[in-house]
Every structure is written in structure tokens, then in C-alpha cells.
């Protein structure tokens, strides 16, 4: 049995113990809550850092997306520029092709005109050569009356009619002994002098050599020749262009032997192949 006198101290001790127990429990509870709060704060901070990290990653990805968009846009602009340059080069190529085709057509047109003029020249030459014949027999074209040439004094080499009404009858012309070598000047036999009958072959060839030199001599220059007792000259008196566009010269031939002299004019035109064609002669 507890002594009533000891009840109060016991009750106080029990009260203090209970109070201490409750206080300890409260302190532990507050510490636990504090720890929980710190844990929550730490958790919040960790989540906040993670959110910040995710935001940073999102921003970085956004910047990378923007960079990729910028690069794609730049490549697109470069592709457009290349397409524009290719299109411009294509147009320039088309323009060059058009210009080439136009020049080709112009060349063809010029060739056609040249061929047409050549045919016209051939036609005029044919008409000129046809005028060299009268009643089917060749003649030298005189400005005065027509004079027939004996058939035995006429021959033909290629397209050139060789007429020697006077003088010696031989092949070639001037210093050229063969017709092939003298082809360019064979037609000059049509500019003839009756006094040639009084010359020997060497004198006649000297006279013809002066005629060959006169085709390239300056206008008005007298090309002199002398062989034995015979002498003479050939002078280019005029030059010009025919209606067919051929270069032409008028020559004056003079010869003298034994005190007898003779002179004759003749006009010749140069053909495209370099040969000469006599178109008229005239005795003063």
C-alpha cells in the first residue's frame, strides 16, 4: 500500500515523466517533420534542377532546330541560285545555238548567192564565148567589122580558143613552150598584128613575153622588147571591172621591123581560175 503522504510526489513524478515523454515524442515528431520538410525541399530543388536541365535541353534543341532550319533555308536558297544559274546558262546556250543557226543560215544564203552569181558569171561567160562565134566559125571580137579566121589557124585547149591568124603556128605562148604551162595567157593570141608574119619565132615569142609581163605591170608602163632587128612594146592603157565582176585590162601592142610598124588594142578579162579571156580588139 502506498502511503498517502507519498502520493503527491509520486503523482508529480508520474506527471513529469508523462510530460517528458510527451515532450520527447513531440520533439521527435517535429524533428521528423523537419527532416521530411528538408527532404521535400531537397526533392523540390532536385526537380527544379531537373526542370531547368530539361528547359536548357529544350532550348538547345530549339536552337539546333533553328540552326537546321537556317541551314536548310540557306541550302534552299543556294539550290534556287544554282537553278537560276543553270536556267540562265541554258538560255545563253539556246541563244548561242540560235545565233549559230542564224549564222549558218546566213552562210548558206551567202553560199547560195555566191553560187547564183557564179552561175550568172558562167552564163555571161558562155554568152561572151558564144559571141566569139559567127556562122559557126570562131572570130576575134573587133570593135569594128567582124573578120573571120581561117579554121586552120584556130585550135582549142581546155576551154580556151587559140587564134593565130598571123605569125608562126606553135604550141605554148611566150617563153612557155607547152600549152599547159602557158594556159593563163593562151587567149592573148587573139590580140594579133599582121606584121607578125615578118617575124621569126624567137621574135614573136619575145613580143608575147612582153604581153605576159604587161598583165601585172603598173598602168601606163611600157614593156619593151627587142630581138634582133625587131622591137616593140606592150602597154596597159586602162583597167576596170566587167559587169560580171571580172578584172579587165586594155593593152596596146606595138611592133616594128625593117622600118615597118603596126599597133593594135585589145581588152582581156581575168577568169576565176587565173586565165585571161580576150573580149575585144581594135586596130587604130
pLDDT tens-digit map of 14-58 = 777 777 766 776 777 777 888 888 888 888 889 999 999 999 999
DSSP the chain: ---HHHHHHHHHHHHHHHHHHHHHHHHHHHHHHHHHHHHHHHHHHHHHHHHHHHHHHHHHHHHHHHHHHHHHHHHHHHHHHHHHHHHHHHHHHHHHHHHHHHHHHHHHHHHHHHHHHHHHHHHHHHHHHHHTEETTEEEE-BSSS-EE--GGGEEEETTEEEE-SSS---SSBTTB-STTTTGGGGGGGGS--GGGGGS-HHHHHHHHHHHHHHTTSPTT-EEEEEETTEEEEEEEEEEEE-TTS-EEEEEEEEEEETTEEEEEEEEEEE-TTS-EEEEEEE--
Number of CB atoms found within 10 A of residue 279's CB? 19
Cα separation, 203 vs 199, whole angstroms: 6
Percent of the chain with pLDDT over 90: 54
The C-alpha cell of 112 is what?
A: 547560195
What pLDDT band is residue 59 in, cutting at 50, 70 and 90?
very high
User: Are residues 122 and 185 part of one domain?
Assistant: no
Using the predicted structure, report yes or no on whether residue 64 has a pLDDT greater than 50.
Answer: yes
Mean pLDDT, residues 177-199: 92
User: Are residues 276 and 144 part of one domain?
Assistant: yes
Q: Is residue 123 part of a domain?
A: yes
User: Are residues 98 and 234 part of one domain?
Assistant: no
User: Are residues 240 and 155 part of one domain?
Assistant: yes
| pLDDT on residue 6 | 63
Q: Is residue 59 part of a domain?
A: no
Could you say which of 131, 163, 182 is where a domain stops?
131
Using the predicted structure, report yes or no on whether residue 145 has a pLDDT greater than 70.
Answer: no
Using the predicted structure, report yes or no on whether residue 206 has a pLDDT greater than 60.
Answer: yes
256 compared with 244, residue with greater pLDDT: 256
39 compared with 261, residue with greater pLDDT: 261
Which is nearest to 229 in space by CA: 199, 260, 259, 257? 257
| pLDDT on residue 152 | 79
User: Are residues 256 and 223 part of one domain?
Assistant: yes
| pLDDT on residue 86 | 92
The CA R_g of the chain, rounded to the nearest whole Å, is 62
Could you say which of 131, 160, 191 is where a domain stops?
131
Using the predicted structure, report yes or no on whether residue 236 has a pLDDT greater than 60.
Answer: yes
130 compared with 75, residue with greater pLDDT: 75
Provide the b/e sequence for 37-57 (b: ≥16 CB within 10 Å).
eeeeeeeeeeeeeeeeeeeee
Provide the b/e sequence for 143-178 (b: ≥16 CB within 10 Å).
eeeeeebeeebbbebeebbbbbbbbeeeebbbebee
Using the predicted structure, report yes or no on whether residue 146 has a pLDDT greater than 60.
Answer: no
Sign of CA dihedral 45, 48, 52, 53: positive
Q: Is residue 116 part of a domain?
A: yes
Could you say which of 101, 131, 161 is where a domain stops?
131
262 compared with 2, residue with greater pLDDT: 262
Q: What is the pLDDT of residues 102-140, one digit of tens each?
A: 999 999 989 898 888 877 777 766 655 544 433 333 334
Global pTM reads 0.49
Q: Is residue 63 part of a domain?
A: no
Range(s) of the domain holding residue 212: 138-282
User: Are residues 273 and 171 part of one domain?
Assistant: yes
User: Are residues 116 and 167 part of one domain?
Assistant: no
Q: Is residue 186 part of a domain?
A: yes
266 compared with 24, residue with greater pLDDT: 266
Q: Number of structural domains, the chain?
A: 2
User: Are residues 237 and 151 part of one domain?
Assistant: yes
Q: What is the mean pLDDT of the chain?
A: 84
Q: Is residue 52 part of a domain?
A: no
The C-alpha cell of 109 is what?
A: 544564203
User: Are residues 230 and 149 part of one domain?
Assistant: yes
Using the predicted structure, report yes or no on whether residue 198 has a pLDDT greater than 60.
Answer: yes
Select the highest-mean-pLDDT range: 32-46, 136-150, 251-265: 251-265
| pLDDT on residue 124 | 67
User: Are residues 185 and 103 part of one domain?
Assistant: no
What pLDDT band is residue 70 in, cutting at 50, 70 and 90?
very high
Q: Is residue 156 part of a domain?
A: yes
Q: Which residues contact 280 (CB under 8 A, 6 or more apart)?
A: 141, 142, 143, 266, 267
What pLDDT band is residue 283 in, cutting at 50, 70 and 90?
low
User: Are residues 175 and 119 part of one domain?
Assistant: no
| Distance set, CA 211 to CA 215, 217, 221, 224 (Å) | 7, 10, 12, 10
| pLDDT on residue 143 | 42
User: Are residues 156 and 250 part of one domain?
Assistant: yes
Cα separation, 190 vs 142, whole angstroms: 10
Q: Is residue 120 part of a domain?
A: yes
Amino acid at each position: 500500500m502506498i502511503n498517502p503522504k507519498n502520493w503527491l510526489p509520486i503523482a508529480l513524478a508520474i506527471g513529469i515523466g508523462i510530460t517528458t515523454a510527451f515532450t520527447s515524442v513531440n520533439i521527435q515528431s517535429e524533428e521528423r517533420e523537419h527532416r521530411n520538410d528538408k527532404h521535400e525541399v531537397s526533392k523540390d530543388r532536385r526537380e527544379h534542377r531537373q526542370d531547368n536541365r530539361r528547359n536548357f535541353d529544350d532550348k538547345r534543341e530549339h536552337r539546333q532546330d533553328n540552326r537546321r532550319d537556317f541551314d536548310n533555308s540557306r541550302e534552299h536558297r543556294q539550290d534556287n541560285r544554282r537553278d537560276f544559274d543553270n536556267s540562265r546558262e541554258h538560255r545563253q546556250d539556246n541563244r548561242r545555238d540560235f545565233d549559230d543557226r542564224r549564222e549558218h543560215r546566213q552562210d548558206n544564203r551567202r553560199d547560195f548567192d555566191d553560187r547564183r552569181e557564179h552561175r550568172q558569171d558562167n552564163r555571161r561567160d558562155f554568152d561572151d564565148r558564144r559571141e566569139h562565134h559567127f556562122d559557126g566559125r570562131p572570130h576575134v571580137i573587133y570593135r569594128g567589122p567582124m573578120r573571120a579566121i581561117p579554121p586552120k589557124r584556130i585550135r582549142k585547149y581546155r576551154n580556151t580558143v587559140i587564134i593565130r591568124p598571123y605569125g608562126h603556128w606553135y604550141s605554148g605562148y611566150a617563153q612557155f613552150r607547152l600549152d599547159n604551162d602557158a594556159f593563163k595567157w593562151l587567149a592573148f593570141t587573139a590580140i594579133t598584128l599582121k606584121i607578125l608574119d615578118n617575124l621569126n619565132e624567137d621574135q614573136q615569142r619575145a613580143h608575147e613575153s612582153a604581153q605576159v609581163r604587161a598583165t601585172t605591170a603598173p598602168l601606163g608602163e611600157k614593156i619593151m622588147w627587142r630581138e634582133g632587128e625587131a622591137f616593140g612594146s606592150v602597154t596597159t592603157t586602162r583597167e576596170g571591172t566587167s559587169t560580171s565582176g571580172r578584172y579587165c585590162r586594155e593593152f596596146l601592142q606595138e611592133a616594128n621591123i625593117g622600118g615597118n610598124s603596126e599597133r593594135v588594142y585589145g581588152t582581156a578579162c581575168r577568169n576565176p581560175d587565173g586565165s585571161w579571156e580576150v573580149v575585144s580588139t581594135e586596130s587604130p
